[in-house]
Amino acid sequence: MHRQLRAVHFVALAALLAGCQEARFPVAPGPAGPHFDGVGGGLSGRIAFESFRDGNGEIYVMNPDGSGQTNLSNNAASEDDPVWSPDGTRIAFVSLRDGNFEIYVMNADGSAPTNLTNNAAFDFAPAWSPDGTRIAFESFRDGNDEIYVMNADGSGQTNLSNNAAVDDDPVWSPDGTRITFLSTRDGATEIYVVNADGTGVATRLTNDVMSEGKPAWSPDGRQIVRFRSTSDEATDIYVMNPDGSGQTNLTNNAYQNFLTPPVWSPDGTRITFVSGNRELFVMNADGTGAIQLTTNGRVGAEETHIAWSPDGKRIAFESFRDRDENIFVVKADAEAETTQLTTNAFDDIEPAWTLRR
């Protein structure tokens, strides 16, 4: 369900911004064809993703060069939204195998799939705490979207947001003490923060007539990045302090049409985002030095769902450039060499990168 909601949102934004020009950033030189300079040089870890090659959504894993593609979930029902535990030993995901959306966890080899939520209502969008002991998620069990948190074994399920409005997209702070989320409780979609232990009340961090996009904490916890709609035809990338102060526009570009949340590099020095003809860009954390990493060559061929390699040298992403979704990897520097990892006639989506075990 969560993916379907995102798809509707993306289509609406695409129609709204279809007339926008390409972003005025330098294009990184170098080849953009299917090329790797050998295993290594950023090819660490493994990539989990969702694939529809078996007739329904399944959770797959592959090596970062595209080899070893393996179905981990192997179920006739749809599986969605794979998220690695911080130690790389488990994968949380959403499954329809019990007749409604539930949050499951399985070992990294696909063994021991376990239903954590066991609720008649929809539960989705799992997010591991930094120490791997808890999982935040969205639930519709109260008649509307709410932010919940539970222990990693499914116990202690607690409603953190407790509001009649839509509350969604939970994101943990790096120290695991707070969770940001989006809420419509004050009209426009705004960013809120709440204590992860359930104490206190949610605090609004943004106050803007235009909608806010999903926030992301910097690795050191000192800043939060997100996209903000700045007019009916433009969005920009903003950063702010964790208390909502110091809101700064990093991009100031009238032609950007971000259809995916910006993502910090693992060391916090760079930010990736989507702009122009829905291409992938990277810039320094202060907004300087932006370069275009992809040139997909087709209007509407959106690059989305960004995932950095653990060493920060490459970026996995999902692209519609072949008129179906596939997963690619690009070098996160001026060479910007791009490699297609999946070549499936059915969609391969939602790459998630973790360290090799």
Average predicted confidence (pLDDT) for the chain: 85
Give the helix ranges, DSSP H, for the chain. 2-16
* pLDDT tens column, 141-156: 999 999 999 999 999 9
| Dist. CA 235–CA 39, nearest whole Å | 37
pLDDT, tens only, 49-100? 999 999 999 999 999 999 999 999 999 999 999 999 999 999 999 999 999 9
Shortest CA distance to 274 belongs to which of 248, 301, 256, 255?
256
- Report residue 232's pLDDT band, with 50, 70 and 90 as the boundaries: low
SS3 182: strand
Q: Three-state DSSP class for 91? A: strand
Residue 78, amino acid: S
pLDDT at 355 exceeding the cut of 70: no
As a whole number of angstroms, the distance between CA 172 and CA 174 comes to: 6
Residue range 124-129: mean pLDDT, rounded: 97
Would the pLDDT of 326 be above 50? yes
What's the whole-number mean pLDDT along residues 22-44? 39
Percent of the chain with pLDDT over 90: 69
Per-residue confidence (pLDDT) for residue 6, from 0 to 100: 38
The pLDDT of 322-337, averaged and rounded, is: 89
pTM: 0.86
Supply the pLDDT for residue 187.
Answer: 85
Cα-Cα-Cα-Cα dihedral sign, residues 281, 288, 217, 206: negative
Buried b (16+ CB within 10 A) or exposed e, 162-184: ebeebbbbbbbbeebebbbbbbb
* Structure tokens that stand for 245 in this block: 């102060």
Q: What pLDDT is stored for residue 254 in this prediction? A: 58
CA distances from 21 to 234, 303, 338 (A): 11, 16, 23
